[in-house]
Structure 1
């Protein structure tokens, strides 16, 4: 149940107000543009063939040296970029067999791997990873392949990328790690995958907000539960001095405050610092007798 508390921040501003929101209401540092805008006049022969998945023509162009394997068109896209964006795995396989460069970037500093993930072409993405594509290259917004995978809600690639040395703590220009990004985007299932991959649940964004604070802000009850089960820090403060518990109070959702209060109480009871000093003194006296 939601209840209004009329709570304001220590600086007279609610932490849920737009004035302290460090990221845009949508996107969170992801410039999401699946696919590519194509102008035929900007393309070379190899690019034209790659876009439509014409393997024979790609082979012909390479055989007669009309274009090179890694030639770029006007927007710095290679045949590999274009084949991946359009899901032509057979062309991708051919290019990989010919030892094309895997990590070249287009004008947005996106690799072919990023485009494959963004366009939900998982087979192409998997081929690239199997051939050693670098998952930690950053685009112009400083997102890596893992940020693309979580943003696109691709559970299998999110689980696979850490095994390919993807950095689970890479921060984009909004200081959002993949875990923080996915919480902002309300992708609960992906949060579970990242937590299982040992993502840092106490990472903070530009405003020093933890995953728990963001889960409260974006009203993700299951994520709040999960983070508390994993031992999330409830005492950390954002740039305005707010804790997760204060976020819970001001959210107006009783369930968040209840969950954090119960967690706090359990921790207090289990802490060694809370043992009764009188009892300890009595035990010590008894041992001396």
Structure 2
């Protein structure tokens, strides 16, 4: 709208409240002076907009029009403004002059909507809102018209106004307001009153037959809202008026939840007891088939679970995935809840649809304490998932040394394989970069050269993963460095293929991995063992590789010449078999040599590999000592022999030397009581 100079002048007079100047100006030019004035309507509009009621009254006395020329006017009318100001006297005059009570502003609000709208308490106290509403209703204001951004009726506007709205609501209801009308979200007056925890209003609405089971767009009834808000007295009021205690929600997050599900989630014991008193279905299932007990099992509140169980909750009811409440308690590592559910006959052998058992979940969570509780209750350590994974696979994957140690002590096969991919626990330890777990498994006899799907060997997997520490570990345990993949590529070729890794963060680590591989190849050459021709050519083609290879050969030559004791050289410690290392480990002179750090400085390239080989000898020595006792025990207690047999020392020694670390650990277990007897 464009204004000329006279428009701007009169607007300025009105803005400043200069009644005398307004009178003088209008008297001299008339109300129809400018087309933009609409016969004086806009002057009245500006006067009310600037809250100058004295000017507005004078304009009305001059028969100023109260309706805009365009009845589709999409802004506030003078009636909207007068109602907003709360000036009952002005509203009365404007209505008498024929102001339309049905016209809406740009928010689709009628004057009646405005009169019922939320205001500050001080505004409500100063202005006669009730009188204005009565005037509007007397002049035919549509009482159930929907307006505002949410398509609300005047009653819904009034309900949202917490301050002194009781009389307004009563007035609207007595004049035919629909108590069950709703907004665009299908919220009724009762929904809003419950959300506001307005007990007096709830009582008033119920007295006027508000539908107690009406649902909003999410399928929530007033009872659901009361339970969610922890309003126990309101919930009781609704239930006493016939609220359906088992009605379900259709919200995305709480699909098919009942009020009891919500109360359990809130850990509201009083509300739970109230709902159960009104026959709430204790085994009601939501969209994922989870009952209130499923929710209680992750609440860390055994008291709530106890209330539900006493009310008849099924402790072994399964959800869509086959999870029972006991599984969920294990997954959140709640020992108290686990023990409580076991006391109430939870099924320790229950499995999820994919075959995961309770013990699998404990292993997946690295929870040794819960695993021990389950084992003491008879959980099967050899249970497998549908793809053949055991608890040892999960423990290795998650990096739990305590659980890996526990399960191996209980006699699990260190090389147990999955059904589909034939993955061993060592594969998961390597894949997830758990070096400590991988080494522990290797010390327990895990096969370092077990075939691996896609990667062919664990060493290749570690190289692809750019894991120098793991590559070094696997080589120390004599991983096959010559193994080729389907493309005839060795680990060394992969490690030196720089274009393959140049865009990957951390690719500079491949130089360290390459050095580890060269170091091992040099050792194989020194031992006159097979080395891939492809690797030999590659070393000769690349100067950096050849240079480091020569350094390795020089250090190996020095190790051969450096004697530790008698004719035993450092080279012998590096290359001899584990059985030979056992005899070395019994030699005090050799032991004292390794207690010194001199060899670290003398042989920086091979010191770690040499130390690891010596450590394997020490470990096997300890296992042989225990195994010897176990072998004697085995023959002496053989029930099939009429006379106990004691093997000659030489025979005993040869049998034991034939066994590897894995076999010796199995044999040693005969001398010890079952770990399950001492788990707790």
Task: Provide the TM-score with structure 2 as the length reference.
Answer: 0.32
Q: Structure 1, unaligned stretches of length 5 or more?
A: 1-38, 266-289
Choose which of 144, 168, 172 in structure 2 pairs with 1:61. 172
Aligned mate of 2:310, from 182, 196, 221? 196
Counterpart pick for 1:177 among 245, 267, 291: 291
Q: Residues 183 and 218 of structure 1 are in contact (CA less than 8 Å); yes or no, is this contact kept in structure 2?
A: no
Kept in 1: contact 2:267–2:301 (CA 8 A): yes
2:667 aligned partner:
none
Equivalent in 243, 260, 278 of residue 374 of structure 2: 260
> Is the Cα–Cα contact under 8 Å of residues 359 and 371 in structure 2 kept in the other structure?
yes
What displacement does 1:178 show? 1.1
1:130 counterpart residue number: 240
Asked if 1:248 is matched to 2:358, the reply is no
Q: Does the CA-based 8 Å contact 2:150-2:183 persist in structure 1?
A: no
- Residue 50 (structure 1) aligns with: 159
Contact 1:159 1:197 in 2 (8 A): no
Q: Give the Cα–Cα distance (whole angstroms) in 2 for the partners of residues 51 and 187 of structure 1.
A: 36
Given that residues 284 and 292 in structure 2 are in contact (C-alpha distance below 8 angstroms), is that contact kept between their aligned partners in structure 1? Answer: yes
Is 1:157 matched with 2:268?
no
Match among 190, 196, 202 for residue 80 of structure 1: 190
1:262, distance to aligned residue in structure 2 (A): 2.8
**Shift in alpha-carbon separation, 1:229–1:41, aligned structure 2, 3 A:** closer
Shift of 1:180: 0.7
Alpha-carbon separation, structure 2, partners of 1:237 and 1:139 = 29
Whether the aligned pair in 2 keeps the contact of 1:85 and 1:116 (CA below 8 Å) is yes
Rounded to whole Å, the distance in 2 between the matches of 1:202 and 1:177 is: 11
1:38-64 CA-to-partner distances (Å, cap 9, x unmatched) read x66532122122223422222111101
- Larger-gyration structure (1/2): 2
CA distance in 1, matches of 2:378, 2:285: 29
Change (3 A) 1:94 1:161: same
Q: Do 1:50 and 1:88's aligned partners in 2 also have CA atoms closer than 8 Å?
A: no
Instruction: Classify 1:74/1:249 alpha carbon distance in 2 versus 1 (closer, same or farther; 3 Å).
Output: closer
- Tell whether the 8 Å contact from 2:294 to 2:325 is kept in structure 1 after alignment: yes
Per-residue displacement from partner, 1:219-242 (whole Å, max 9, x unpaired)?
111110110111111222211222
- 2:315 counterpart SS class: coil
Q: Is the 8 A contact 2:293 2:308 kept in 1?
A: yes
The 3-state SS of whatever aligns with 1:199 is coil
The answer as to 2:231 corresponding to 1:121 is yes
The answer on whether the counterparts of 1:84 and 1:125 sit within 8 Å (CA) in structure 2 is no
Shift of 1:263: 3.0
SS of the equivalent of 2:297 reads helix
Gap change, CA 1:127 and 1:69, over 3 Å in 2: same
| TM-superposed deviation, 1:175 | 1.8
TM-score normalised by the chain length of structure 1: 0.72
Secondary structure of 1:42's aligned partner: coil
Q: 1:223-272: per-residue Cα shift (whole Å, max 9, x none)?
A: 1011011111122221122222333344322221222233339xxxxxxx
SS of equivalent to 2:233: helix
1:167 aligns with 2:281: yes
Secondary structure (helix, strand or coil) at the match of 2:236 reads: helix
- Consecutive unaligned residues in structure 2, runs of 5 or more: 1-147, 380-680
Higher relative contact order (CA 8 A, sep 6+): 1
Kindly indicate whether the alpha-carbon contact (under 8 Å) linking 2:302 and 2:340 is maintained by their aligned counterparts in 1.
Answer: no
Q: How does 1:2-17 map to 2 (within 5 A)?
A: none
Q: How many Å separate the matches in 2 of 1:41 and 1:163? A: 37
Query: 2:345 corresponds to which residue?
Result: 231
Q: Which residue does 1:269 correspond to in 2?
A: none
Give the deviation of 1:90 after TM superposition: 0.8
Match of 2:209 among 99, 108, 129: 99
**Contact (CA 8 Å) 2:301, 2:337: kept in 1 or not?**
no
- Provide, for residues 73-97 of structure 1, a one-character-per-residue CA deviation record: whole Å limited to 9, x for no partner: 2211111100001100111111222
Aligned partners of 1:116 and 1:77: how far apart in 2?
Answer: 14
**Structure 2 residue 253 is the aligned partner of structure 1 residue 139:** no
Q: 1:266-288: per-residue Cα shift (whole Å, max 9, x none)?
A: xxxxxxxxxxxxxxxxxxxxxxx
State the number of aligned residues.
Answer: 226
